Structure 1
Amino acid sequence: MSDVLDIINNDCEDELVQLAAIALVLLIGVEEARQLRNSRHNEQRQYLCCQQFMPNPRMFTT
């Protein structure tokens, strides 16, 4: 009986280790995907600063 309990206990520990490993891989994958998305997102957006604006053509028309 104790041998069976040891086998069951070892199987549970193995399952917990596997579950923890899967959770870790998922967490790392999600973090990598977030970083990749952020790096691509920032490259695509280019904001103009005030010096790059064209002058207003209607500024002196009244």
Structure 2
Amino acid sequence: MELSQSHTQLIDFLQTELAVSASSIAMALRRCEQDLGPLPIILWQYGLVSLEQLDKIFEWLEG
């Protein structure tokens, strides 16, 4: 899966600001392809980010 620049920036934010592991992100990206859901929601559904972190992700995406 080739990532867009916005996806790459989001992944960088997840790793540097929220300390989400690369393996968690990789798993969520695989689920996104299968479920066709947005990455932040997949991360939250699988317990890889907290609700507070999900809020921070959405704030970052709006900015």
TM class, shorter-length: under 0.3
Query: Normalising by the residue count of structure 2, what TM-score does the alignment of the two structures yield?
Result: 0.25
Query: Normalising by the residue count of structure 1, what TM-score does the alignment of the two structures yield?
Result: 0.25
Per chain length, whose mean CA-contact separation is higher, i.e. which structure has more relative contact order (CA < 8 Å, sep 6+)? 2
